[in-house]
């Protein structure tokens, strides 16, 4: 596996696990406008026929830069948080269903993950302090036995300082440490494995809207850089990945079509100017 690709996977995982953004709704995290009730996303291989880009076979497409799986059907509560998420393979067969539960203060307290037969595979319980900061996430397997635990620690100013991941024996296996600038924007993540297998550092640069515009990743003997450019709706328009010597490794560009609420309903992904994937969305509103 390429070091930069591994760094991207870790980058996605760290974003998904970050407890400091739990006060945002899922709609905000997904950059969706309006009171969305549900969203269905289907992905296809892109084909160039007679100079036109058309849909090919359905495929399972996962965007490494965001961690999104684009064969899904997600339902939202009226407060903007997910009630249920269903993920499918390229044949439209259900792979995974996740059901979410919330407290009276609309904090996500439980996630139950089921397989295609409806059997429980995993359950995650989230805990919070009196200020609404997430303090702990505990994962349980289908037998109800704890499989792992994550503990979150914060600074006096309320910023997430570190995440500590423990196995089922209570042993600390890896941790993520965060650094911030004077405005409270995250500038660095340092991931350390206590298995001794890896150590990665991620350094961020942000635009005035809080979007990451540059990511530097360092780990082992490898180093890489990714630059992001956005359009007026805070959606990534370009993503350029660079090698250690500064040469371009991959240029990624996106073309969108939008609905009346300025949510994109069609995305074409280009890699090194070649159309690779088409994603179509069907969005239902309250």
In this prediction, residue 4 carries a pLDDT of 46
- Cα 6–chain centre separation: 15
In this prediction, residue 2 carries a pLDDT of 45
pLDDT tops 80 at residue 196? no
In this prediction, residue 66 carries a pLDDT of 59
Q: What is the mean pLDDT of residues 101-110?
A: 91
What is the Cα–Cα distance from 148 to 139, expressed in whole angstroms?
5
Q: Are 111 and 94 in contact (CB under 8 A)?
A: no
Model pLDDT for residues 227-276, shown as the tens digit of each residue: 999 987 688 999 999 988 889 999 999 999 999 999 999 999 999 999 99
User: By three-state DSSP, how is residue 237 classified?
Assistant: strand
- 41 versus 10: the higher-pLDDT residue is 41
Q: For 28, phi and psi rounded to 5 degrees?
A: -65, -40
**pLDDT band per the 50, 70, 90 thresholds, residue 7:** very low
Q: What is the mean pLDDT of residues 40-50?
A: 94
In this prediction, residue 158 carries a pLDDT of 92
Q: What is the mean pLDDT of residues 31-59?
A: 94
Domain count, the chain: 1
Indicate the pTM of the whole model. Answer: 0.85
Q: What is the mean pLDDT of residues 105-111?
A: 92
Query: Domain range for residue 235?
Result: 3-285
Write the CATH number for 75.
2.40.160
In this prediction, residue 203 carries a pLDDT of 84
Neighbours of 268 (CB within 10 A): 17
Q: Which residue has the tokens 């073309």?
A: 255
In this prediction, residue 226 carries a pLDDT of 92
Q: For 212, phi and psi rounded to 5 degrees?
A: -70, 120
What is the Cα–Cα distance from 13 to 15, expressed in whole angstroms?
5
- 21 versus 98: the higher-pLDDT residue is 98
């Amino acid at each position: 596996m390429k070091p930069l690709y591994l760094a991207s996977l870790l980058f996605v995982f760290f974003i998904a696990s970050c407890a400091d953004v739990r006060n945002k709704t899922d709609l905000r995290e997904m950059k969706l406008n309006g009171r969305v009730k549900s969203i269905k996303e289907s992905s296809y291989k892109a084909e160039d026929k007679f100079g036109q880009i058309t849909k090919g076979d359905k495929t399972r497409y996962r965007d490494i830069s965001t961690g999104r799986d684009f064969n899904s059907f997600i339902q939202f509560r009226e407060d903007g948080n997910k009630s249920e998420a269903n993920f499918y393979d390229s044949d439209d067969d259900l792979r995974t269903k996740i059901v979410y539960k919330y407290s009276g203060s609309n904090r996500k307290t439980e996630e139950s993950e089921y397989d295609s037969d409806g059997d429980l595979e995993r359950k995650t319980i989230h805990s919070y302090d009196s200020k609404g900061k997430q303090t702990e996430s505990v994962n349980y397997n289908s037998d109800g036995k704890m499989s792992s635990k994550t503990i979150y620690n914060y600074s006096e100013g309320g910023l997430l300082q570190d995440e500590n991941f423990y196995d089922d024996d209570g042993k600390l296996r890896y941790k993520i440490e965060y650094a911030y600038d004077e405005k409270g924007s995250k500038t660095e993540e340092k991931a350390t494995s206590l298995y001794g297998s890896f150590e990665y550092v991620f350094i961020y640069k942000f635009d005035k809207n809080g979007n990451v515009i540059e990511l530097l990743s360092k780990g082992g003997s490898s180093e890489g850089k990714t630059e992001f450019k956005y359009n007026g709706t805070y959606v990534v328009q370009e993503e350029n990945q660079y090698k250690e010597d500064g040469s371009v490794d991959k240029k990624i560009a996106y073309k969108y079509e939008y609905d009346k609420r300025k949510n994109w309903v069609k995305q074409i992904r280009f890699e090194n100017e070649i159309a690779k994937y088409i994603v179509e969305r069907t969005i239902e509103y309250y």
